[in-house]
């Protein structure tokens, strides 16, 4: 591990911006490096952080994928909450979004230890979310459940696939891929010992039939039995062709909770003899951090660093409750090829960000795709079709161009990720002047590449640069194709844009993670668990002046509106004639990448009644209270 002195020097270099524009791949300068380096180093957040990242962060799981960190932690509730951010430090303030909830009495409650893994399933690569849940009022029925994503977005939507062993107590599930086979490692009490056990899988949610389950850790060493005899929370770490497994040892309610280590030294993971157990713990308490454990692993954005994420306590009196907070730190490798996790970092010590956070990054960011249509010209924000030209222009909207992902960063801003060139919209050279060039470029984590989407006139929005505080507009307010899109002052007459989701969408509640759906036996609008049904997939159809109607393929002649065109709060929403007064909506951006749906006629917003989680909870119109029960997320159903 590096010394504190070396870490301090690294922090100073980061803060001075000296390494801001170094290429993540080969150290060479790339497009716009020379012109932008000074401005970017002045306005980029350093990305440094201190542990803990945030409180109540037990059992963390973190992945870096397609330009974002994704994080889950134990909620103790019936909700599975995920955060995402392009920087590790940004996770501390990222908007928590509920991607799944359950009110099934057999698996409704006490959600623990979510892990999401990108695995090849029957329909190609998907994210598989394994989590522990059980019955209300008892912890005696906790067991593993699995969700599957509809596509390659870790934010979902997710479909429930099943429980691995619903009739026996089992927790802390983790996948192992080895020699073309898939295994699950889980923890279970047998007698007075909590064990880690491995079993082979038929697919990511089903165990192979008629097979043995092999015990691979048993608490037997002095450092594994403090408080109770516990080994749990197995996590796989593969490096240079070797497979390691960390696990958490001793009772989590003691300050002596810690990490142990195994290595797979044989060919068959189902043989206990194939696993070598290390005699000493590899990560344990210090005088400032207590009970460090239940960890995960992730790599830095440029792939050059390995990182550890874990929970810990600041006090010796704290145990396995909401006091456990989220922490992260880089780790190294010993000369013999084993991991060296060092010691838990002292709270308050400044930690440099993972390598590569400041780019340059070119990646296809996951998320719903949008057309951004100018209200004056009715043409789409796009980039020049000339491969040598990255300037922003307006072009005719089509299924193959002008598509953007609105990806949240910090403080209510987003980055606009282009789906064609996998780059990000920004103001050239971080200029602040009117009519400055707008273009796409590799992500460099600066304010010139971030935007505020705010409510505009009628059903439209404005798109304002974070650094210059000036909006996007069409040069000369021209209606001609290929006209430049520039940064202009707020008095410009052509700064209004419409958000148009591309393709069919699933509309997920930020509160419940459930999909806005048409009831099967009538035209009522309610929430249901996502299940690929036609009544959950919506066409967002533009009407005029920026407003849209919401309809499904199954009921193409009907749109979402208020019963009897009611104007009062609490009025029911259902499928009504598309020419009804209340059948048009404004898409208003909300913090964290979500939207609010504001009725054009009565100015009420769509919301989940009583903020309910239950299947079939009614969707109604409500006063605009700006609560998470009124925020929705558009997601692709494939």
Q: Within 13 Å of residue 468, how many CA atoms lie on the same side as its CB?
A: 27
Q: Residue 89: helix, strand or coil by DSSP?
A: helix
d(CA 515, CA 535): 10
Lookup result for tokens 């990720």: 417
Lookup result for tokens 């990646």: 363
CB 427, CB 438: distance < 8 Å: yes
Residue among 565, 545, 602, 529 at smallest CA distance from 101:
529
Residue 338 structure tokens:
């084993």
CA angle centred on 63, ends 406 and 129, rounded to 5°: 95
Of the candidates 115, 172, 200, 232, the residue annotated as catalytic is 232
**What does DSSP say about strands 193-203 and 229-239: parallel, antiparallel, or unpaired?**
parallel
Residue among 116, 113, 117, 107 at smallest CA distance from 141:
107
Greatest alpha-carbon span in the chain: 77
115 is known as an active-site residue: no
CB 574, CB 559: distance < 8 Å: no
The neighbour count for residue 483, using CB atoms within 10 Å, is 19
Backbone angles phi and psi of 326, in degrees to 5: -85, 135
Instruction: Name beta bridge partners: 124.
Output: 121
Residue 51 CA to its chain's centroid (Å)? 21
Distances from the Cα of 118 to the Cα of 115, 149, 157, 175, angstroms: 10, 9, 14, 10
Of the candidates 59, 172, 224, 235, the residue annotated as catalytic is 59
Backbone angles phi and psi of 337, in degrees to 5: 90, 5
235 is known as an active-site residue: no
Burial class (CB in 10 A: 0-12, 13-18, 19+), 54: middle
Backbone angles phi and psi of 477, in degrees to 5: 50, 35
CB 637, CB 589: distance < 8 Å: no
What Rg value do the Cα atoms of the chain yield, rounded?
26
The neighbour count for residue 220, using CB atoms within 10 Å, is 11
Residue among 557, 558, 517 at smallest CA distance from 534:
517
SS (H, E, C) 547-605: CEEEEECCCCCEEEEEHHHCCCCCCEEEEEECCCCCCCEEEEECCCCCEEEEECCCCCE
Q: Residue 399: helix, strand or coil by DSSP?
A: coil
Burial 230-246 (b: 16+ CB within 10 A, else e): bbbbbbbbeeeeebbbb
Residue among 292, 267, 242, 104 at smallest CA distance from 180:
267
What is the set of active-site residues? 59, 232
């Amino acid at each position: 591990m590096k010394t504190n002195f070396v870490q301090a020097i690294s922090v100073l270099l980061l803060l001075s911006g000296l390494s801001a524009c170094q290429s993540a791949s080969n150290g060479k300068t790339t497009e716009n490096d020379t012109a932008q380096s000074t401005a970017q180093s002045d306005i980029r957040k350093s990305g440094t952080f201190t542990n803990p990242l945030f409180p109540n962060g037990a059992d963390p799981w973190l992945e870096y994928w397609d330009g974002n960190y994704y994080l889950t932690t134990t909620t103790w509730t019936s909700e599975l909450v995920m955060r995402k951010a392009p920087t590790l430090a940004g996770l501390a303030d990222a908007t928590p979004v509920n991607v799944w909830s359950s009110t099934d009495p057999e698996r409704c409650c006490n959600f623990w230890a979510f892990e999401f893994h990108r695995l090849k399933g029957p329909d190609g690569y998907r994210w598989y979310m394994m989590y522990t849940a059980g019955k209300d009022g008892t912890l005696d029925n906790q067991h593993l459940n699995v969700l599957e994503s509809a596509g390659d977005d870790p934010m979902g939507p997710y479909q429930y696939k099943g429980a691995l062993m619903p009739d026996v107590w089992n927790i802390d599930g983790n996948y192992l891929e080895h020699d073309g086979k898939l295994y699950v490692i889980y923890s279970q009490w047998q007698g007075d010992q909590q064990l880690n056990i491995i079993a082979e899988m038929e697919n990511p949610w089903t165990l192979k039939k008629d097979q043995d389950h092999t015990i691979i850790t048993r608490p037997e060493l002095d450092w594994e039995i403090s408080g109770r005899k516990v080994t749990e929370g197995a996590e796989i770490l593969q490096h240079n062709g070797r497979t390691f497994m960390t696990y958490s040892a001793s009772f989590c309610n003691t300050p002596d909770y810690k990490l142990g280590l195994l290595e797979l030294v044989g060919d068959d993971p189902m043989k206990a003899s194939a696993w070598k157990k290390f005699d000493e713990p590899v990560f344990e308490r210090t005088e400032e951090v207590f009970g460090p454990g239940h960890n995960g692993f992730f790599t830095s954005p440029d792939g050059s660093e390995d990182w550890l994420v874990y929970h810990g306590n600041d006090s010796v009196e704290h145990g396995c409750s909401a006091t456990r907070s989220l922490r992260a730190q880089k780790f190294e490798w010993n000369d013999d090829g084993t991991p060296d996790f060092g010691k838990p970092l002292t709270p308050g010590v400044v930690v440099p960000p993972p390598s590569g956070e400041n780019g340059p990054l070119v990646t296809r960011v996951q998320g719903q795709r949008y057309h951004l249509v100018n209200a004056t010209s009715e043409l789409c924000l796009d980039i020049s079709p000339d491969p040598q030209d990255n300037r922003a222009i307006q072009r005719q909207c089509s299924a193959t161009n002008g598509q953007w992902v609105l990806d949240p960063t910090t403080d209510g801003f987003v980055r606009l990720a282009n789906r064609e060139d996998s780059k990000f919209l920004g103001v050239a050279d971080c200029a602040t002047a009117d009519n400055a060039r707008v273009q796409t470029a590799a992500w460099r984590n600066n304010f010139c590449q971030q935007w505020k989407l705010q409510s505009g006139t009628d059903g439209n929005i404005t798109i304002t640069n974070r650094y210059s505080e000036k909006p996007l507009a069409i040069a000369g307010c021209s209606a001609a194709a290929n006209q430049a899109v520039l940064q202009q002052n707020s008095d410009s007459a052509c700064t209004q844009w419409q958000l148009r989701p591309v393709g069919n969408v699933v509309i997920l509640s930020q509160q419940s993670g459930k999909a806005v759906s048409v009831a099967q036996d009538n035209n009522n609008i309610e929430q249901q668990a996502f299940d690929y049904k036609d009544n959950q997939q919506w066409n967002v159809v533009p009407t005029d002046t920026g407003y849209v109607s919401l309809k499904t393929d199954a009921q193409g002649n009907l749109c979402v509106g208020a019963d009897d065109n009611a104007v009062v709060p609490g009025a029911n929403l259902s499928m009504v004639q598309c020419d009804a007064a209340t059948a048009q909506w404004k898409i208003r951006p909300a913090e964290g990448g979500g939207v609010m749906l504001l009725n054009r006629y009565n100015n009420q917003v769509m919301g989940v009644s009583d903020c309910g989680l239950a299947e079939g909870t009614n969707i109604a119109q409500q006063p605009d209270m700006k609560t998470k029960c009124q925020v929705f997320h558009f997601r692709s159903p494939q």
